[in-house]
């Protein structure tokens, strides 16, 4: 992963709508301890509305733990998380999704035994509320079909609408996952290594997609691929040994000697 | 599973969206009904009723396992307790058969709600163990409680008069009543699977964490399907008690929970029609090979091993794969 860091200030912020400095997600003093081991220690993080914010760091830096804390899949030991000014520290993951804060997963999170159309529709179906109508025909769901097809078309999956998601190639699965997430029209997306395991061709396609969907949303992502981070992000937080090491745009961060040391080791700095 | 290079062999489902029951399923349901209508002229009605009750039981179990992704190892509790309640209300209180069956079903639903609300807090093997533990408690309760008749069970339950009018004593009369109950039960299960609620269930089965991230409070859906499954298993057990005029410890014993797992896996977990076939095969074996005594159990064990080793999708699952249609 090291060589990519030399790309320099290739970052592009032409797509971000608002750089007003307005904070959408804020974590303060975020700490997670596992039986004496401190995975995330006292992390302060502010994500600006409309930005693409990346969280990077060497292996074992606590990125995934941090991500799971922000999405409420883990409960922090200490610290607080505010979303749009609301304290969400004690909320359940399903409930923050309802506030418009939706996460993706590192391993592709499609519903393998459902068709691509059904995958997207299950998200649209959320609008029906907590419906337990087991007596009604699934015909009731056809009202969402047009919208689901439009979302599939958006990510280039029109021809796969009737294909079982489990049969799709990896890159297409990721695209389907994004279509499913977009179906909720979330205000903020949290992406867990969106490029993990992808071919270069897929990376280009998904990068373009992320840039497009970021036009009117905030995106926070954990990503290993530094050239992707460099080209997409407005702001980068570098995590090492569970603590924030540096923060800024790519140009600033990539020149920071502590970051270079964390990534390559002191001998090369 | 599929990578970029495996693009050629993509399964196209014949229904991209949902457009009601596909022709094939309609045809199978009509075929089953016709078969059910003529079968008592060729086979022993009591045997057929036993097959039907177990088919419904297996389908109810499959609703939970195959579509909710929850492996309960204590479904005998709902089957058996419903059979006790149905037998007791029919015998001691003189309830008509349909009312007795409704009481049994209701009792199973309530028991399902109580056990389910505790069990769904655990996942995977722990879930199975919790359901088994509660089922064992229900077994010991049935053994000790005064109204269940202990080792004897509740015997010579009157078949009574349907709606107080039609005598259920002739096997043929009872048979068509049971056929009606079971067929409606199967249609209800089919509808549950193919409802908006059923879609949510499949989502939870396929990827629960993802459903949570989409804003679904998954435990409520899991509890709902648990209660539905328990109630339908109860419907099967309650009906069986009227058919055999008996409720006994066998119905609530853990081996009954194991048998329904076997039927479902053999027929095809997560298929609509598999458990019906699985139940038919197992009940037929038990009935016609009964003279071989314990060898039946060994035969079942061998079948189970073969099914798990060679065709995990079950008989109907394999057929569905070959004809490339969901069954």
CA A159 to chain centre: 26
pLDDT for B320 beyond 80: yes
Q: What is the CATH number of the domain that holds A219?
A: 3.40.50.300
Residue B7 has pLDDT above 70, yes or no: no
Cβ contacts (< 8 Å) between A161 and chain B: which residues?
16
**Bridge pairing between strands A78-83 and A23-34:** antiparallel
Q: With contact defined as beta carbons under 8 Å apart, do B251 and B80 qualify? A: yes
Q: Would you call B18 helix, strand, or coil by DSSP? A: coil
Split into its structural domains, chain A has a count of: 1
Interchain CB contact of B8 with A (< 8 Å): no
Q: Is residue B110 part of a domain?
A: yes
Q: Of A71-85, B5-19, B227-241, B304-318, where does mean pLDDT reach its minimum? A: B5-19
pLDDT cut 90: percent of chain B above it: 61
Q: Please identify among residues 214-273 of chain B the ones whose CB lies closer than 8 Å to any CB of chain A.
A: 214-218, 220-221, 224, 228, 270
The verdict on residue B219 lying in a domain is yes
pLDDT of residue A266: 52
- Under 8 Å CB pairs connecting chains A and B tally to 154
Count of other CB atoms within 10 angstroms of residue A42? 14
pLDDT of residue B102: 95
Residue B5 has pLDDT above 60, yes or no: no
Instruction: Give the count of alpha carbons within 13 A of B259, CB side only.
Output: 24
Q: Which residue has the tokens 């999704």?
A: A97
Q: Are B227 and A103 in contact (CB under 8 A)?
A: no
Are B18 and A138 in contact (CB < 8 Å)?
Answer: yes
The whole-chain average pLDDT of chain B stands at 88
What's the structural domain count of chain B? 1
**Cα nearest neighbour of B192 on chain A:** A134
Q: How confident is the model at residue B139 (pLDDT cuts 50, 70, 90)?
A: very high
The reply to whether A163 touches chain B by the CB within 8 Å rule is yes
Cβ neighbours for A176, distance < 8 A, ≥ 6 positions apart: A110, A116, A119, A120, A152, A155, A157, A160, A165, A168
pLDDT category, B4, cuts 50, 70, 90? very low
Residue B146: count other Cβ atoms within 10 Å of its Cβ. 6
**Chain B CB within 8 Å of residue A170 CB:** yes
Pick the residue of B13, B14, B220 with the most A CBs within 10 A to test the interface with A by mutation. B13
Residue A61 DSSP one-character state? S
Question: Is the pLDDT reported for residue B17 higher than 60?
Answer: no
- A116-124 vs A145-154: helix axis angle to the nearest 10? 120
Confidence of residue B2 (pLDDT cuts 50, 70, 90): very low
Helix (H) or strand (E) holding A23: strand A23-34
Put simply, whether B187 touches A (Cβ < 8 Å) is no
The C-alpha atoms of residue A174 and residue B207 are separated, in whole angstroms, by 15
Give the integer Cα–Cα distance in Å for A10 and A8.
Answer: 6
Task: Please name the residues between 59 and 78 in chain B that touch chain A, using a CB distance below 8 Å.
Answer: none
Q: What is the extent of the structural domain holding A263? A: 3-268
Q: What pLDDT, on the 0 to 100 scale, is given for residue A200?
A: 84
| Residue in A111, A126, A169 closest to B4 by CB | A169
Q: What is the pLDDT of residue A4?
A: 38
User: Structural domain of residue B218, as residue ranges?
Assistant: 45-253
- Establish if B66 belongs to a structural domain: yes
The beta-carbon neighbor of A111 closest among B198, B202, B213 is B202
**pLDDT > 70: percent of chain A:** 90
Q: How high is the mean pLDDT in each 10-residue block of chain A (269 residues)?
A: 35 36 86 86 90 88 88 90 90 90 83 92 86 82 88 88 89 87 90 83 84 89 87 90 86 83 62
Any domain includes B176: yes
Nearest chain A CA: its distance from B3 CA (Å)? 5
| ipTM at complex level | 0.78
In 3D, which of B242, B248, B233, B234 has the Cα closest to residue B177? Answer: B242
Q: How far does A197 lie from chain B, in Å, by closest CA? A: 11
Token match 């049994």: residue?
B104
**Model confidence pLDDT, tens digit, residues B172-216:** 889 999 999 999 999 999 999 999 999 999 999 999 989 999 999
């Amino acid at each position: 992963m090291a060589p990519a860091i030399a790309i320099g200030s290739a970052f592009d912020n032409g797509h971000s709508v608002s750089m007003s400095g307005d904070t959408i997600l804020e974590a303060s003093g975020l700490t997670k301890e596992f039986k004496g081991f401190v995975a995330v220690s006292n992390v302060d993080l502010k994500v600006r509305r409309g930005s693409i914010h990346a969280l990077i760091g060497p292996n074992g830096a606590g990125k995934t733990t941090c991500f799971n804390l922000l999405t409420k899949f883990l409960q922090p030991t200490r610290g607080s998380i505010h979303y749009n000014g609301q304290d969400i520290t004690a909320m359940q993951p399903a409930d923050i999704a309802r506030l418009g804060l939706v996460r993706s997963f590192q391993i592709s999170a499609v519903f393998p035994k459902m068709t691509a159309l059904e995958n997207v529709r299950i998200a649209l179906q959320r609008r029906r509320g907590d419906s337990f109508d087991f007596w009604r025909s699934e015909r009731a769901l056809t009202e969402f079909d047009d919208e689901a097809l439009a979302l599939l078309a958006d990510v280039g999956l029109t021809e796969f609408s009737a294909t079982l998601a489990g049969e799709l190639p990896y890159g297409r699965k990721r695209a389907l996952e994004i279509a499913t997430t977009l179906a909720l029209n979330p205000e903020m997306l949290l992406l867990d290594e969106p490029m993990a395991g992808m071919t270069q061709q897929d990376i280009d396609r998904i990068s373009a997609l992320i840039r497009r969907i970021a036009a009117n949303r905030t995106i926070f992502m954990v990503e290993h691929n530094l050239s992707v981070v460099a080209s997409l992000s407005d702001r980068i937080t570098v995590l090492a040994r569970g603590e924030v090491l540096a923060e800024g745009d790519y140009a600033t961060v990539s020149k920071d000697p502590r970051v270079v040391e964390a990534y390559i080791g002191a001998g090369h700095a | 599973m599929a990578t970029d290079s495996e693009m050629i062999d993509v399964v196209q489902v014949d229904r991209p969206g949902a457009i009601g029951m596909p022709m094939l399923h309609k045809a199978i349901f009509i075929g089953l009904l016709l078969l059910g209508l003529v079968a008592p002229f060729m086979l022993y009605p009591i045997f057929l009723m036993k097959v039907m009750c177990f088919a419904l039981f297996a389908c109810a179990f499959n609703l939970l396992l195959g579509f909710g992704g929850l492996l309960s190892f204590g479904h005998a509790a709902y089957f058996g307790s419903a059979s006790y309640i149905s037998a007791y209300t029919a015998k001691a209180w003189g309830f008509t058969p349909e009312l007795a069956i409704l009481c049994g079903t209701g009792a199973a639903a309530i028991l399902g709600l109580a056990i389910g609300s505790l069990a769904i807090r655990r996942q995977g093997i722990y879930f199975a163990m919790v359901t088994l533990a509660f089922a064992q408690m229900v077994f010991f309760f049935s053994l000790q409680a005064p109204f269940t008749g202990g080792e004897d069970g509740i015997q010579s339950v009157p078949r009574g008069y349907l709606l107080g009018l039609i005598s259920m004593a002739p096997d043929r009369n009872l048979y068509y009543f049971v056929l009606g109950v079971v067929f409606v039960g199967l249609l209800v299960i089919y509808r549950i699977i193919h409802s908006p609620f059923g879609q949510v269930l499949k989502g939870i089965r396929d990827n629960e964490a993802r459903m949570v991230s989409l804003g679904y409070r998954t435990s409520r859906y899991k509890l709902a399907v648990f209660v539905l499954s328990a109630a339908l298993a109860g419907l099967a057990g309650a009906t069986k008690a009227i058919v055999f005029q008996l409720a006994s410890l066998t119905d609530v014993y853990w081996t009954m929970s194991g048998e329904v797992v076997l039927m479902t896996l053999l027929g095809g977990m997560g298929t609509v029609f598999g458990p019906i076939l699985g139940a038919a095969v197992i009940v037929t074996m038990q009935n016609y090979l009964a003279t071989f005594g314990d060898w039946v159990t060994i035969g079942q064990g061998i079948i189970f091993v073969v099914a798990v080793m060679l065709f995990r999708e079950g008989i109907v699952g394999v057929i569905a794969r070959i004809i490339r249609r969901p069954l």
